[in-house]
C-alpha cells in the first residue's frame, strides 16, 4: 500500500490563488431589450401607420434614432400605446382629449395634487359629471339629422374630435357625451361655413388647442392655491366658478369682435 503524497504546505500568511471564476452575464429582461418598429407592432397589435400617426400627433414619444430610417423603442412605448388604445376604444375618448390628458399627466402633478383632484371628482354633483362611458348614439343617424355629410363625419373622427366605433348590430356609434360636437358642426354648416368656402372640421382645432391650454392653466392655478381646502369645498367652488369662466370667455370674445367692427370705417 502506497501513501499519498501530501501537498507542500503554503508559507504562512500566503493565501492559495484560486482560478478566476467565469462571470455570468446577466440575461437582459424582456422589457430591457430595445424594440424595432416591427417588434412594437407585434407587442401592441397596432399597425405601423397608426403608431407613426400617434408619434406625429404627440401621443407617443419618438424612438431613439440610430440611423436615417432606424429607431429603437422600449417598454414605455408599449405601455403608452396600450393606454391610448384603451382610452380611445374602451372609454370612447377622442385623440384630442387623450393628448390633453397625457400632456396634463406629463406635467407631473405631485401625488398629493393627484389625490386631491381625485377626491374633488368624487364630490362633484351629478350635473357636473360626465355621461356614462358606455352611453352611445348612432353616429350616422345623428349626422344625417344634422345635415352633416359622410365626409365631414369621417373628418371629425380623423381630426380626433370624436371616436367612431362599430356596434355589435353593425351601426357606427359615438359616445353620447360627444354628440354635441356633431350638433354644433351641423349648426356651423347651417350658418354658412360651407366646404365650398374652405371650412372643414379641422378648423375646430384652433379652439380645442386654446381650451386645452386654458384648462391646464386653470388646473395648475387650482392645485397651487387652494389645495389646502377640503375636497367638498373645492368641488362646490369648481361647480360655481366654471360657468362664470365660460361667461367671461364668451363676453371677452364678443367684446373683441365688437371692438374690431367698431373701428372699421373710422378715420385713421
Quick: pLDDT tens for 49-72.
999 989 998 899 999 988 777 899
Cα atoms found within 13 Å of the Cα of residue 57, Cβ hemisphere only: 22
Q: For residues 237 and 243, what is the distance between their CA atoms, to the nearest angstrom?
A: 11
At residue 246 the predicted structure's pLDDT band, cuts being 50, 70 and 90, is: very high
CB burial of residue 240 (10 Å; 0-12, 13-18, 19+): exposed
CB burial of residue 9 (10 Å; 0-12, 13-18, 19+): exposed
Q: Cβ neighbours of residue 79 under 8 Å, at least 6 residues apart?
A: none
Phi, psi torsion values for 221, nearest 5 degrees: -60, -40
C-alpha cell, 177: 357625451
Looking at the DSSP bridge assignments, the partners of residue 57 are none
pTM score of the predicted model: 0.63
At residue 107 the predicted structure's pLDDT band, cuts being 50, 70 and 90, is: low
Q: For residues 175 and 163, what is the distance between their CA atoms, to the nearest angstrom?
A: 8
pLDDT tens per residue, range 118-156? 788 778 766 555 445 568 899 999 999 999 999 999 999
At residue 268 the predicted structure's pLDDT band, cuts being 50, 70 and 90, is: low
Q: Where in the chain is the domain with CATH 1.10.1660.10?
A: 31-90
What is the third-level CATH fold of 31-90?
Multidrug-efflux Transporter Regulator; Chain: A; Domain 2 (1.10.1660)
Q: Which residues of 97-113 are buried (b: 16+ CB within 10 A; e: fewer)?
A: bbbbebebeeeebeeeb
**Rounded alpha-carbon distances, angstroms, from residue 69 to 53, 72, 234:** 16, 10, 50
Task: Please state which architecture CATH assigns to domain 136-258.
Answer: Orthogonal Bundle (1.10)
Kindly state the greatest CA–CA separation across the chain: 130
C-alpha cell, 78: 408599449
Please state, as a whole number, how many other Cβ atoms lie within 10 Å of the Cβ of residue 176: 17
Amino acid at each position: 500500500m502506497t501513501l499519498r503524497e501530501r501537498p507542500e504546505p503554503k508559507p504562512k500568511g500566503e493565501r492559495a490563488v484560486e482560478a478566476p471564476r467565469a462571470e455570468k452575464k446577466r440575461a437582459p429582461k424582456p422589457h430591457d431589450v430595445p424594440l424595432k418598429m416591427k417588434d412594437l407592432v407585434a407587442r401592441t397589435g397596432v399597425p405601423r401607420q397608426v403608431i407613426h400617426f400617434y408619434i406625429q400627433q404627440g401621443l407617443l414619444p419618438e424612438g431613439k434614432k440610430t440611423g436615417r430610417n432606424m429607431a429603437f423603442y422600449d417598454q414605455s412605448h408599449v405601455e403608452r400605446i396600450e393606454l391610448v388604445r384603451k382610452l380611445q376604444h374602451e372609454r370612447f375618448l377622442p385623440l384630442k382629449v387623450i393628448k390633453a390628458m397625457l400632456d396634463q399627466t406629463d406635467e407631473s402633478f405631485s401625488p398629493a395634487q393627484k389625490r386631491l383632484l381625485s377626491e374633488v371628482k368624487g364630490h362633484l354633483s351629478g350635473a357636473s359629471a360626465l355621461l356614462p362611458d358606455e352611453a352611445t348614439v348612432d353616429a350616422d343617424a345623428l349626422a344625417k339629422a344634422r345635415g352633416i355629410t359622410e365626409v365631414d363625419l369621417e373628418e371629425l373622427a380623423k381630426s380626433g374630435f370624436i371616436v367612431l366605433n362599430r356596434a355589435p348590430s353593425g351601426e357606427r356609434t359615438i359616445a353620447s357625451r360627444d354628440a354635441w360636437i356633431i350638433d354644433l358642426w351641423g349648426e356651423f354648416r347651417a350658418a354658412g361655413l360651407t366646404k365650398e368656402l374652405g371650412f372643414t372640421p379641422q378648423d375646430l382645432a384652433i379652439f380645442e388647442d386654446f381650451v386645452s391650454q386654458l384648462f391646464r392653466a386653470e388646473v395648475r392655478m387650482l392645485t397651487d392655491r387652494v389645495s389646502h381646502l377640503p375636497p367638498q369645498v373645492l368641488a362646490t367652488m369648481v361647480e360655481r366658478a366654471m360657468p362664470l369662466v365660460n361667461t367671461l370667455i364668451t363676453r371677452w370674445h364678443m367684446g373683441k369682435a365688437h371692438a374690431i367692427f367698431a373701428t372699421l370705417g373710422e378715420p385713421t
